[in-house]
């Protein structure tokens, strides 16, 4: 399969430039670096919004990190991305982010991989003056999730496809739950070299119904044999490995399942051969993409075209048992813990995009007129813009409040509130971008402005990682269960 085409960065910015390194020089044609760490200047193309300033007011220790991320984006993505422009080399940019110390700040490094620079490897990391690959220790301890949220928010303000440039992403699962050999291998490739990790959970017949998954790993003692299909997952061509959620079964159990009659071509959730799988607990394993028997099948998505989308097919793939994350049956715990935070990250990507769209709409409203009446003088326009801005700011504040709770107590994070926050944020973002496109008139509907791309991208993120209707229902069911000690929809900040 051929990955999406990549070309040079927009406006002549040099993909090879590295932000955050001591000897890094601004490439010709890119935005100049600021002389000292700080927020974007007021009135600039990416002026720091009130939401960002509020977070930094609570966490001033993250100001330097925020400046480093902003400098990186100014160098490599100085202009909004449009569909008709050359596509940025996203995977290359992630490699540069790794060498700038911006891919591993969200996960703690083991004692064998500290902050000290190391010798150059095949990815060129460890050059004199550069930070340690990945940037473990780049943010103060206890602020890793808030820092990751800031990076995602700032990335979204440039383009939703920039969401994969920073942090360990789905590689955090093997880093946190994998055995030492798997964790070190993933750290080297995903954090150190800036390669990508993916996640494979959804299946064509079951969607977000984790109990209904049919991908099985037959347990043969020292190894597993993986079979099944994962549907419409991202990064199928770029990722070096996937966290695969599956059902681990014994050989005799697999034989019994195969022997059972099916209740039709799509039997499974309600009966037939796959009904018994619903009672098998979920497991997770790390699967390198170069394993024999792994096939990919790409699809053409409406949005989020910067990264490939498609199916993964597992045809009797042998997986060593030591690639299991946790123990067999730990998959649901790993899934819930990871996606509670990851959904907030995707929410903040959308909120960043919506914030930039609102800024652009405000600027247009100030300078455009209908007849002799400026747009800014039409009450309905002003009211709708104010509503959009209020919704985006409120959703942003909620997401960061939940991330602050994560950093205080990861085990106590409220997965139900995180799910609903992602749904609320992506819905509010979609409405804000739709309004901004409308206020740009016919220009907003063309591919030479970023509005239509943002709208398509956010539409995809209202489905990814759980469709919004399902995510709202997660919170509703949680509340219907009655009050639970220590769980709040909004985390209260200690004073």
Confidence of residue 179 (pLDDT cuts 50, 70, 90): very high
Average pLDDT, stretch 455-474?
95
Q: What is the pLDDT of residues 375-433, one digit of tens each?
A: 999 999 999 999 999 999 999 999 999 999 988 876 667 899 999 999 999 999 999 99
Q: What is the pLDDT of residues 69-98, one digit of tens each?
A: 999 999 999 988 999 999 999 999 999 999
- Pick the residue with more confidence: 491 or 256? 256
Confidence of residue 488 (pLDDT cuts 50, 70, 90): low
Q: At what angle do helices 415-439 and 451-461 cross, to 10 degrees?
A: 160
- Pick the residue with more confidence: 454 or 492? 454
pLDDT at 10: 36
The count of other CB atoms within 10 Å of the CB of residue 259 is 8
Percent of the chain with pLDDT over 70: 78
Handedness of CA 178, 416, 217, 290 (dihedral sign): negative
Q: How many residues in total does the chain contain? A: 495
351 membership: H or E segment, kind and range: helix 331-367
Mean per-residue pLDDT over the chain, rounded: 83
Confidence of residue 135 (pLDDT cuts 50, 70, 90): low
The count of other CB atoms within 10 Å of the CB of residue 445 is 13
* This prediction's pTM: 0.83
Strands (E), 156-222: 196-200, 216-219
Are 313 and 229 a contacting pair, CB within 8 Å?
yes
Weakest mean pLDDT among 3-12, 57-66, 480-489: 3-12
Q: What is the pLDDT of residues 111-127, one digit of tens each?
A: 433 333 333 333 333 32
Give CA–CA dist 457/451, Å, rounded.
10
- Pick the residue with more confidence: 370 or 424? 424
């Amino acid at each position: 399969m051929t990955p999406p085409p990549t070309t040079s960065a927009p406006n002549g910015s040099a993909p090879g430039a590295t932000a955050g390194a001591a000897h890094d020089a601004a490439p010709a044609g890119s935005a100049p670096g600021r002389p000292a760490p700080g927020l974007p200047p007021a009135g600039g193309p990416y002026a720091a919004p009130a939401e960002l300033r509020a977070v930094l007011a609570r966490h001033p220790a993250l100001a330097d990190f925020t400046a480093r991320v902003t400098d990186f984006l100014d160098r490599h993505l100085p202009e909004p991305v449009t569909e008709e422009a050359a596509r940025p080399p996203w995977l290359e940019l992630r490699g540069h982010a790794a060498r700038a110390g911006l891919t591993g700040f969200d996960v703690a490094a083991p004692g064998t991989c500290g902050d000290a620079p190391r010798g150059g490897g095949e990815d060129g990391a460890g050059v004199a003056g550069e930070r340690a690959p990945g940037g473990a220790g780049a943010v103060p301890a206890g602020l890793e999730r808030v820092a990751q949220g800031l990076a995602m928010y700032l990335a979204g303000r440039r383009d939703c496809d920039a969401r994969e440039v920073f942090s360990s992403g789905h590689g955090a699962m093997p880093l946190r739950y994998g055995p030492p050999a798997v964790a070190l291998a993933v750290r080297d490739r995903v954090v150190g070299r800036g390669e990508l990790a993916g996640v494979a959970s959804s299946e064509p017949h079951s969607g977000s119904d984790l109990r209904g998954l049919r991908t099985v790993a037959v347990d043969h003692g020292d190894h597993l044999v993986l079979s099944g299909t994962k549907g419409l997952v991202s990064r199928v061509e770029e990722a070096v490995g996937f966290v695969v959620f599956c059902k681990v079964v014994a050989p005799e159990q697999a034989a019994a399942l195969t022997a059972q009659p099916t209740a039709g071509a799509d039997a499974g959730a309600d009966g037939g051969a796959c009904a018994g799988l619903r009672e098998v607990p979920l497991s997770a394993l790390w699967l390198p993409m170069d394993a024999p028997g792994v096939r990919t099948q790409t699809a053409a998505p409406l949005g989020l075209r910067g990264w490939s989308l498609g199916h993964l097919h597992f045809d009797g793939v042998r997986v060593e048992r030591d690639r299991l994350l946790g123990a067999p049956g730990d998959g649901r715990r790993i899934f819930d813990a990871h996606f509670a935070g990851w959904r907030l990250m995707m929410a903040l990507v959308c909120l960043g995009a919506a914030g930039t769209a609102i800024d652009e709409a405000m600027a247009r409203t100030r300078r455009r007129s209908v007849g002799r009446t400026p747009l800014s003088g039409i009450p309905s326009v002003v009211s709708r813009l104010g509503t959009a801005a209020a919704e985006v700011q409120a959703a942003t504040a909620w997401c960061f409040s939940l991330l602050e709770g994560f950093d205080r107590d990861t085990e106590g994070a409220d997965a139900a509130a995180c799910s609903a926050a992602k749904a609320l944020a992506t819905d509010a973002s979609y409405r804000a971008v739709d309004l901004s496109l409308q206020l740009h008139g016919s220009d907003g509907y063309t591919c030479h402005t970023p509005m239509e791309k943002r709208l398509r991208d956010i539409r995809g993120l209202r489905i990814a990682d759980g469709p919004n209707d399902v995510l709202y229902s997660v919170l509703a069911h949680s509340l219907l269960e009655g009050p639970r000690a220590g769980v709040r929809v909004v985390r209260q900040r200690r004073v």
